[in-house]
Amino acid sequence: MTGERFDVAIVGAGVVGCAVARELSRYALRTILIEARSDLGDGASKGNSAVLSTGADTPFGTLECRLVARGHQRYLAEAPGLGLPVELVGSLTVAWNAAEAERLAAIEAETVAAGFHSGRMVGPAEIYRRVPQLAPGAVCAIWEPEEGIVDPFSTPYAYARDALANGVEVRSACPVERAERRDGLWQLQMPQGAIEAAVVVNCAGLHGARVEALAGYADFAMRPRRGQFLVYDKSARPLLDVVLKPVPSPTYRGILMTPTIFGNVLVGPTAEDIDDIDDWRVTRESLDLLKAAALRLLPGLAAHEITATYCGIRPGTDRPEYRIIPRLDERWLTVGGIRSTGLSGSLGIAEHVAGIVVGEMAPAARKPAVVPVRVPSLAFGAPRPWMRDGDVDAAYREIVCHCEGITCGEIRDALAAPLPPCSLKALKRRTRAMFGRCQGFHCGARVQAMFDAAAAARGR
Ligand SMILES: Cc1cc2nc3c(=O)[nH]c(=O)nc-3n(C[C@H](O)[C@H](O)[C@H](O)COP(=O)(O)OP(=O)(O)OC[C@H]3O[C@@H](n4cnc5c(N)ncnc54)[C@H](O)[C@@H]3O)c2cc1C
């Protein structure tokens, strides 16, 4: 690796870095995407609510609002081509008393004034038609039909696969440890060696301020905010077919209840300011709080099991906004503080960042053609290989993970695909094997054996 020279080095392969890599792959640039962990999407991007926001719930007039709105538009247009599932289930932001109804009316007026016209106020009849099992007492709600649910794990993977197919080099298990500017180029030092890059794009998420400090910048400090979640069994999914939201406060959007693209019901997140960016604990108190909130809103959930819990950490900073800072002279572009909307905004952020890189830091022509890439859809009910007509490979008829219905052939394919999973958790994210109600109790040993065999074969 030592001495290799690139036009652009992107540090961090979360959903934002992967989207930026895909965007820059459309230009005649030598680009590298560098990730510290063994798998991409293994930071803030692995633990979120997976709601595709329209931007109407972001602070109006900000860069975040503009980029999330653009990201939403592009995601709807481009996800199908990448094989990524989207379900436009819509959301209901529900007021439960007169004070909340008044606040909601003000929010609706502000939303329309900001140019978002798809949402509208609805009364109890429509609320209970959409969620018949909702607890009694809802006064009114904003119905937003354009909000959707997506696959948070396959999104960075699909972007990175697309970037790779279109010429970007992708290196994982490669933490950038030093950044020095010498003779007009950045020297980035990793344990495996050093590279040179004309432009650096810092997409290091929770570690954004640390990577900034390597280059001598100190424009912001991290203020990580943990969010914990409960996952209800697929049996609960008929209870909820829309994203349910409380009336937000200025600093916290509150606890959502949402169907997931994988066929579960998700409750969360909490909002806990923490000191340690690596504090990924779930706690009894928060889970109890989430469960109580869930049962208050949807009492029927009491008959269904919670099959998993997890948490995510929002890469917030000391400023309540995206920190996209172009340093044109030094050709260092910071893409930090992408706190709560990075999945929805990813393609908008990527377009904005590529505009700065190509427009002002490393001018380059657009490539004449794009190599298309599709990843397998992991959505519940999506067509699966064993459903194909004609002679189907026997490996697609052998189920390994019975909870999620994942076959031996699908796990084999994920292990053999470009950017193969380098850990069991990464394999789970690529296939959903072990993500079901037994959480791998029954299939774990088999999946581990398949993973070990593939890793050994790669090592040969
Ligand atoms: C609880 C919660 C709920 C959320 N809900 C939603 C939602 O419903 N919809 C939505 O749109 N967004 C949501 N988000 C926000 C979204 O998840 C984040 O905005 C997004 O994941 C941020 O992505 P990122 O790429 O900036 O950061 P990350 O995913 O953290 O990626 C940064 C990457 O940089 C790597 N890195 C760090 N240091 C180095 C180094 N020195 N060298 C190389 N690599 C390095 C890290 O390993 C990591 O992989 C939510 C977030 C949370 C926490």
pLDDT tens digits along 87-112: 999 999 999 999 999 999 999 999 99
Cα 14 to middle of ligand 1, angstroms: 5
Which residue's CA is minimally distant from atom 3 of ligand 1? 48
SS3 54: coil
Question: What does the pLDDT average to over 61-77?
Answer: 97
Return all residues near 460 (Cβ < 8 A) that are at least 6 apart: none
Quick one: the chain helix, strand, coil %, rounded to 5?
Answer: 35, 25, 40
Ligand 1 close to Cβ of residue 246 (< 6 A): no
Give yes or no for a contact between 222 and 208, defined as CB atoms under 8 angstroms apart. Answer: yes
Any atom of ligand 1 within 6 Å of the Cβ of 36: yes
Distance from C-alpha of 141 to C-alpha of 124, rounded to nearest angstrom: 8
Ligand 1 mutation pick, 53, 341, 347, 353, max ligand atoms within 8 A of CB? 341
Q: Measure the CA–CA gap between 329 and 10, rounded to whole angstroms.
A: 18
Q: How confident is the model at residue 397 (pLDDT cuts 50, 70, 90)?
A: very high
Rounded-to-integer distance, Cα 323 and Cα 326, Å: 10
What is residue 459's predicted lDDT score, i.e. its pLDDT? 81
* Tens-digit pLDDT profile for residues 310-347: 999 999 999 989 999 999 999 999 999 999 999 999 99
Q: Which two tokens stand for residue 108?
A: 């609706």
CB 139 within 8 A of CB 124: yes
- pLDDT at 2 exceeding the cut of 70: no
Out of 287, 314, 325, give the residue to mutate to test ligand 1, the one with the largest number of ligand atoms within 8 Å of its CB.
314
SS3 state at 92:
strand
DSSP alpha helix (H) spans, 114-251: 124-130, 154-165, 208-214
Report the C-alpha gap between 116 and 352 in whole angstroms: 20
Ligand 1 centroid from CA 341, angstroms: 9
Domains of the chain listed by start with CATH number: 4-47+153-219+319-361 (3.50.50.60), 86-148+223-314 (3.30.9.10), 385-459 (no CATH)
Summarised one tens digit per residue, pLDDT across range 158-216 is 999 999 999 999 999 999 999 999 999 999 999 999 999 999 999 999 999 999 999 99
Name the pairing type of β-strands 399-401 and 406-407: antiparallel
